């Protein structure tokens, strides 16, 4: 008996059962009205033409494989998916024989732009290491859109990414979700309607950063006390605002940007993305979340998630993992190759991530390694299912699975045409579409955007135009 469909259904159900009441990004479900997004998205899809890719193997991102299928991209959306689709005159037809199509890859954990190439100090803006709580800062204010890494990531099939602050603080600040288009302002890359994330960090990093300065926190118990006090303060702040909004008499409470971010989490409008390696710390954080009535969208890195898949599933919290990183610090000591497939088989939402400008270029390969490791121990996972680890599951963890991450009709046409099976090391992303626009074409130098930074450089280094 195959357990796959059951597991998948459970993962989805668990996620939505818990997530639905809490997450309604963009919808006002509380009396508190903080000012709207001060850095609104100005994203506009690049020009596109109606495109039909024919005779291609499609992994839909929902666990299905379709052989010799056609897919139509029209007006920025997935317009149709099936056999023998008819092309009206003027439609660009691409023969995909022998090739594969997947949803665009979503990297839910990237520091592109905030720790860009070149990695010089003047451009390193990812960690505001001056206070363990910097919930007030926003990664989008540090992103350097000219980071050549956006281009190499796109050439690797990445169409959406979450840029996070670093993990040196208990509360690192707000993340931002970007469409991977080569724009020169961050606002023009911002994924329309995607909720902000709040980067939080467990474990060694915050206690080392502050402990080494003789400051708070210097222990794990210090870390946890730090989170709890901040949440208690945020509850108080939120109550004061809500009370004032009842009758709006007198001056409003003073705005506090840290408290504002935390209150947005409590009100379900900002999603917690938490750096956390160890099983016991993840369990502790789920308790803290229950105490203060918020939800943790995902644990990032989560090298011990394979020890607690049932706990993650019960809480509707995704695990965001590497295929094989381990051993670089104590909290990464228990990493195993089978982490992702074991979390998946245990019923929780499993997701790949890079946290790395090289790894982000080969997330299909990292997914393939995890998939193969799972099947070696008999977990019997299909390729079509494993594709979800880099598409639909990160979309769920970001709360954008109603927009992208799968090739269902009406979804954003964020699509990769692969030269072959995406789980082969020899396969390359050949064409990458974002909202139906061809943003990268390996066969056409005119569709290989390059960073300003690489202009005028001698030689033929790729500088992002792989």
Can you give the binding site for other proteins, defined by CB under 8 A? 117-120, 148-149, 152, 204, 306-307, 309-310, 324-330, 333-338, 342, 345-347, 357-358, 361-362, 365, 368-369, 371-372, 376-378, 423-428, 453-454, 457-464, 466
CA distance 88 to 187: 35
CA distance 173 to 189: 19
Question: Is the Cβ of residue 135 or residue 360 nearer to other proteins in the bound state?
Answer: 360
Name residue, tokens 């990769």: 416
Question: Is the Cβ of residue 206 or residue 436 nearer to other proteins in the bound state?
Answer: 206
Closest CA to 12 of 350, 335, 353: 350
Instruction: Report, in Å, the least distance between residue 308 CB and other proteins.
Output: 9
Instruction: Report, in Å, the least distance between residue 155 CB and other proteins.
Output: 9
Helix (H, G, I), strand (E, B) or coil at 271: strand
Question: Is the Cβ of residue 362 or residue 403 nearer to other proteins in the bound state?
Answer: 362
Cβ–Cβ under 8 Å, residues 208 and 281: no
Question: Is the Cβ of residue 62 or residue 152 nearer to other proteins in the bound state?
Answer: 152
Instruction: Report, in Å, the least distance between residue 461 CB and other proteins.
Output: 4
CB count in 10 Å sphere of residue 62: 19
Instruction: Report, in Å, the least distance between residue 327 CB and other proteins.
Output: 4
Question: Is the Cβ of residue 90 or residue 378 nearer to other proteins in the bound state?
Answer: 378
Helix (H, G, I), strand (E, B) or coil at 171: strand
Question: Is the Cβ of residue 205 or residue 273 nearer to other proteins in the bound state?
Answer: 205
DSSP characters over 75-143: TTEEEEEESS----TT-EEEE-TT-EEEEPEEEEEE-TTTS-SS--GGG--S--TT-SB-TT-BGGGT-
Question: Is the Cβ of residue 244 or residue 325 nearer to other proteins in the bound state?
Answer: 325
Name residue, tokens 């009406």: 410
Residue partners of 47: CB distance under 8 A and separation at least 6: 437
Instruction: Report, in Å, the least distance between residue 460 CB and other proteins.
Output: 7
Instruction: Report, in Å, the least distance between residue 443 CB and other proteins.
Output: 15
Helix (H, G, I), strand (E, B) or coil at 179: strand
Which H or E run contains 412?
Answer: none
Instruction: Report, in Å, the least distance between residue 65 CB and other proteins.
Output: 16
Closest CA to 157 of 461, 391, 396, 397: 391
Question: Is the Cβ of residue 381 or residue 439 nearer to other proteins in the bound state?
Answer: 381
Question: Is the Cβ of residue 225 or residue 336 nearer to other proteins in the bound state?
Answer: 336
Instruction: Report, in Å, the least distance between residue 319 CB and other proteins.
Output: 12
Instruction: Report, in Å, the least distance between residue 388 CB and other proteins.
Output: 17
Helix (H, G, I), strand (E, B) or coil at 74: strand
Question: Is the Cβ of residue 199 or residue 362 nearer to other proteins in the bound state?
Answer: 362
Question: Is the Cβ of residue 117 or residue 142 nearer to other proteins in the bound state?
Answer: 117
Instruction: Report, in Å, the least distance between residue 374 CB and other proteins.
Output: 10
In degrees rounded to 5, what are phi and psi of residue 181? -115, 150
Sign of CA dihedral 27, 395, 279, 169: negative
Instruction: Report, in Å, the least distance between residue 250 CB and other proteins.
Output: 52
DSSP characters over 345-374: HTTS-EEE---STTGGGGHHHHHHHHHHHH
Residue partners of 281: CB distance under 8 A and separation at least 6: 202, 203, 220, 331
């Amino acid at each position: 008996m195959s357990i796959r469909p059951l597991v998948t259904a459970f993962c989805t159900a668990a996620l939505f059962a818990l997530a639905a009441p809490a997450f309604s990004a963009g919808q006002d479900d509380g009396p508190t009205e903080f000012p709207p997004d001060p850095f609104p998205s100005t994203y506009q899809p690049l020009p596109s033409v109606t495109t039909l890719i024919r005779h291609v193997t499609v992994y839909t991102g929902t666990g299905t494989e379709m052989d010799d299928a056609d897919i139509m991209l029209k007006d920025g959306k997935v317009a149709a998916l099936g056999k023998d689709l008819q092309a009206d005159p003027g439609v660009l037809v691409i023969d995909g024989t022998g090739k594969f199509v997947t949803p665009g890859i979503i990297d839910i954990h990237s520091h592109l732009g905030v720790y860009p190439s070149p990695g010089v100090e003047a451009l390193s803006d990812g960690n505001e290491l001056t206070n363990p709580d910097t919930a007030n800062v926003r990664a989008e204010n540090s992103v350097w859109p000219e980071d050549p890494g956006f281009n190499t990531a796109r050439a690797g099939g990445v169409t959406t990414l979450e840029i996070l602050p670093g993990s040196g603080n208990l509360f690192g600040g707000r993340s931002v979700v970007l469409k991977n288009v080569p724009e020169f302002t961050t606002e023009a890359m911002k994924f329309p309607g995607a909720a902000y994330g709040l980067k939080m960090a467990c474990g060694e990093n915050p206690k080392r950063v502050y402990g080494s300065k003789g400051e708070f926190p210097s222990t794990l118990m210090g870390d946890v006390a730090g989170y709890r006090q901040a949440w208690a303060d945020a509850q108080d702040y939120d109550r004061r605002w809500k009370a004032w909004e009842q009758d709006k008499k007198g001056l409003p409470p003073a705005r506090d940007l840290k408290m504002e971010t935390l209150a947005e989490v409590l009100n379900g409008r900002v999603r917690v993305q938490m750096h956390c390696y160890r099983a016991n710390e993840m369990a502790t954080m789920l308790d803290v979340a229950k105490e203060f009535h918020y939800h943790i969208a995902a644990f990032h890195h989560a090298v011990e998630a394979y020890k607690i898949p049932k706990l993650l599933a019960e809480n509707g919290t995704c695990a965001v993992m590497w295929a094989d990183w381990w051993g670089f610090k104590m909290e990464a000591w228990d990493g195993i190759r089978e982490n992702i497939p074991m979390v998946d088989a245990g019923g929780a939402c499993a997701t790949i991530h890079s946290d790395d400008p090289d790894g982000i270029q080969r997330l299909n390969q990292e997914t393939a390694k995890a998939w193969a490791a799972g099947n070696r121990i008999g977990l019997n996972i299909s390729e079509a299912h494993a594709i979800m680890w880099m598409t639909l599951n990160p979309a769920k963890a970001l709360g954008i699975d109603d927009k992208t991450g799968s090739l269902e009709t009406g979804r954003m046409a964020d699509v990769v045409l692969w030269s072959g099976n995406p789980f082969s090391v020899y396969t390359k992303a050949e064409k990458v579409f974002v909202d139906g626009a061809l943003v990268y074409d390996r066969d056409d130098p005119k569709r290989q955007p390059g960073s300003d930074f690489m202009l005028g450089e001698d030689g033929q280094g790729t500088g992002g135009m792989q």
